[in-house]
Structure 1
Amino acid sequence: MGTRIVLVHGWKGNPDNHWFRRLRNECEAKRYIVITPQMPNPDHPKRDEGVRHLVEAVPNPDEATYFVGHSLGCITILRYFAGLIASSRVGVLFLLPALWSPLGLVWPKNL
């Protein structure tokens, strides 16, 4: 199996938001296997649901598995990693946190 790139979107997102579509297309053009799970309930996410969904999408990560997370996707990936056995290895972890500005938005408490 070739290199897998897992793109995990954030809160209120989807696999086609922001730069995900372009990155997916560029990676696929280079023959990478790209996994872009639609995370459950992106407008009202629940921590355990997101982690379970990622486990289902990527049950056996290895050194040829690269993770890219944005916003809440970063937290989801880190919680997913916390559930892996200690001997697990992944190739790359690239986290792009969202910038939080005073827009009157309230971060969900159940995350």
Structure 2
Amino acid sequence: MKTIYLIHGWDGSPKEPMHQWIKTQLEQKGYTVIIPKMPDPEVPKIETWIPFLTEIILNLDENSYLIGHSVGCQAVLRFMETLPEEIKLSGVILIAPWMHLDEQTIKDEGEEIVEIAKPWMETPIDWKKVKSHTNNFTCLLSDNDPYVPLSNKELFEKSLNAKIIIEKNKGHYTEDDSIIENQTVIDLIR
């Protein structure tokens, strides 16, 4: 049986409609789906999110998938850096992943948001260590995401050899973008 951990994003929640829809669809297929409520999601911090994940994500193996949304993608990757070398995963799905944000977002959102995002953008990731746990990475990006420039795709292709799927008009894959379902994620879990 596959176990899937879905990590929500900045200012997010396990109750987001897309997350709940994914959970319901996968549970109907017999999978176990866990969507933890991340600590202080309004101000996500590497130093709190990653230790939290190491406490709650247990017994990973070749039947485990990790899914991240937005900054939850970085949380997944940074968590993977902490895993013992022998842990192998079935796959990783990154929904609206970013290593840098859109310049207009940085201008529009102001200094407080930039200060929250800065450690996520500037703290390096050990890509080799992350890749050692699976060779199955997929990134879902939208052609009209207001926060995540499509230029992020090159980094994920190069660093993770990730399969890139660019979808039309999905925004940042949130309820504000009218995204309630995500069949692509369901189709990727095998």
Identity, in percent, stands at 31
2:44 is aligned to 45
Per the TM alignment, residue 110 of structure 1 is displaced from its structure 2 partner at its CA by 4.0
CA distance in 2, matches of 1:46, 1:24: 25
1:3-48 CA-partner distances (Å, limit 9, x unpaired): 1011100101001225101001111111110010100000011112
Query: TM-score, normalization: structure 1?
Result: 0.89
Which residue identity lines up with residue 14 of structure 1 in the other structure?
Answer: S
Higher RCO (CA 8 Å, separation ≥ 6 residues): 1
Identify, as 1 or 2, the structure richer in helix.
2
2:54 is aligned to 55
CA distance in 2, matches of 1:17, 1:46: 20
Q: 1:87 to 1:98 in 2, by over 3 A?
A: closer
**How many correspondences in the alignment?**
110
CA distance in 2, matches of 1:98, 1:79: 13
Structure 2 unaligned regions, length at least 5? 121-190
1:15 is aligned to 14
SS in 2 for 1:10: coil
Which residue identity lines up with residue 83 of structure 1 in the other structure?
Answer: T
1:43-68 CA-partner distances (Å, limit 9, x unpaired): 01111211111112212311111111
CA distance in 2, matches of 1:61, 1:75: 18
Alignment of 1:1-111 (within 5 A): 2-97=1-96, 100=101, 102-103=104-105, 104-105=108-109, 106-107=113-114, 108=116, 109-111=118-120
CA distance in 2, matches of 1:18, 1:45: 20
Task: Tell which structure's C-alpha radius of gyration is larger.
Answer: 2
CA distance in 2, matches of 1:36, 1:51: 15
- Structure 1 runs, 4 residues or longer, greater than 3 Å off: 98-101
CA distance in 1, matches of 2:56, 2:2: 15
Provide the alpha-carbon RMSD of the alignment: 1.7
CA distance in 1, matches of 2:22, 2:71: 18
